[in-house]
Amino acid sequence: MSESNAELSSLATVLDELTRRVTRNAEAAAAAHDEEVASELFAIERALGGASRRLSRLSVSQDRKARR
């Protein structure tokens, strides 16, 4: 794995952990009936999920380039 791919993998791991933390907080806010906070956190969760998918596609693309 190249240094670039290793860094992308590390970023993906950190992003996944951040997403889990945001999700836990969103669920806690929803359980506490704090709909405004829950709504914002769930929107952030969706954005982080999109970022995670983009990062994954980039990592796969970089891996394919490295194999050529």
Please give the model's pTM, rounded to 2 decimal places: 0.86
Query: H helices within 1-68, ranges in order?
Result: 3-31, 35-67
- How far apart are the C-alpha atoms of 27 and 67, rounded to whole Å? 42
Share of the chain above pLDDT 70, in %: 99
pLDDT digit string, tens, across residues 25-39: 999 999 999 999 999
Sequence ranges of the domains in the chain: 3-53
- pLDDT of 8 above 70: yes
- pLDDT of 1 above 70: no
- pLDDT of 64 above 90: no
